[in-house]
Amino acid sequence: MKYLILSDIHSNVEALTAVLRRVQRKRFDRVIILGDVVGYGADPNLTVDKVRRLKRSIIIRGNHDKVCSGLENGEMFNKVALESARWTEDKLLPRHRKWLASLPKGPVRVGEWISISHGTPLDEDAYIFGEIEALNMFNYFDTRVCFFGHSHFPVLFGLDREALTTHIPHTNGGTYRLKLREDSRYLINPGSIGQPRDGDRRASFGIFDDQRMTMTILRVSYPYERTQEKIRAAGLPAPLADRLALGR
């Protein structure tokens, strides 16, 4: 089976459109979405519309989906995140807000090989940044692979009997591929579509092939200036627009 892995879209419809256009001629058996469909960007309704139209999809909620749909009050959010969540909650169509509030909490198991979580398999709101967090989290899922999001940073952690190996996907040419080893388990973040934070402003996403056991991370350019204009025109906090140019 081939899985398209999308995470942290954050109401960025231009980035999502570019990603879906890039993969339109590929065949996918399932689409996995690791949460944070909304929050930050100026197009929550268009983005939710597009996501809901994806066929054979499995979606879990992210922390922004919870706050923007009124499930949580966002007391842990910083000022910029909270302001955008309030704005999003106000703009969301009731049917989309209801749909977001109904999304399942991770971790969720997908088939034989895969677990999915927004933050960590233990806590949907916690981050995996480095090797110490990653190593600990291998105890909290029992599949070969666990996909996660939340940090907006594409990374692959592989664990065999001896050691943990960190793979930072180098995607200068737009594509990075890793053949997964038989003797290893993996924690994989495909990066963020709508708010990348690894210094590369292109949308980041993944493709997992469980026949070949390959994981591919891809980057796609999109007209981010247009997204910035919309964020500014909506009166959303300026840093949300500024950081799109930098990918930070």
Closer to Fe ion by Cβ: residue 8 or 43:
8
Tell me how far, at minimum, the Cβ of 5 lies from Fe ion, in Å. Answer: 15
Does residue 124 bind Fe ion (CB under 5 A)?
no
Closer to Fe ion by Cβ: residue 67 or 156:
67
Does residue 8 bind Fe ion (CB under 5 A)?
yes
DSSP 158-176: EE-SS-EEEE----TTSEE
With residue 21 as reference, give the H or E element that holds it.
Answer: helix 13-22
Tell me how far, at minimum, the Cβ of 199 lies from Fe ion, in Å. Answer: 17
Binding mask 167-206 for Fe ion (x = CB under 5 A): ----------------------------------------
Closer to Fe ion by Cβ: residue 129 or 179:
129
**Residue 33 CA, distance from chain mean position:** 7
Q: Report the alpha-carbon distance of residue 8 to residue 203 in Å, rounded.
A: 10
With tokens 């942290």, the residue in question is: 8
Residues 34-53, interacting with Fe ion (CB under 5 A): 36
Tell me how far, at minimum, the Cβ of 39 lies from Fe ion, in Å. Answer: 7
Tell me how far, at minimum, the Cβ of 57 lies from Fe ion, in Å. Answer: 18
Q: Report the alpha-carbon distance of residue 209 to residue 3 in Å, rounded.
A: 6
Closer to Fe ion by Cβ: residue 8 or 89:
8
Q: Report the alpha-carbon distance of residue 116 to residue 85 in Å, rounded.
A: 24
Residues 129-168, interacting with Fe ion (CB under 5 A): none
Segment contacting Fe ion (CB under 5 A): 1-9, 135-143, 197-205, 228-236?
1-9
- 108-110/155-159 β-pairing: unpaired
Segment contacting Fe ion (CB under 5 A): 5-13, 42-50, 103-111, 172-180?
5-13
Q: Report the alpha-carbon distance of residue 195 to residue 203 in Å, rounded.
A: 8
Size of the site for Fe ion (CB under 5 A): 2
Geometric angle at alpha carbon 84, from 80 and 86, rounded to 5°: 120
Does residue 65 bind Fe ion (CB under 5 A)?
no
Tell me how far, at minimum, the Cβ of 8 lies from Fe ion, in Å. Answer: 4
Q: Which stretches does DSSP call E strand in 99-202? A: 108-110, 114-116, 145-147, 155-159, 164-167, 175-179, 185-189
Please give the residue whose beta carbon sits closest to Fe ion in the complex: 36
Tell me how far, at minimum, the Cβ of 91 lies from Fe ion, in Å. Answer: 18
With tokens 């990603």, the residue in question is: 19
Judge whether 65 and 100 are in contact, CB under 8 Å: yes
Reply yes or no: is the peptide bond before residue 107 cis, omega within 30 of 0: yes
Segment contacting Fe ion (CB under 5 A): 4-12, 21-29, 97-105, 156-164?
4-12
Q: Which residues form the interface with Fe ion (CB under 5 A)?
A: 8, 36
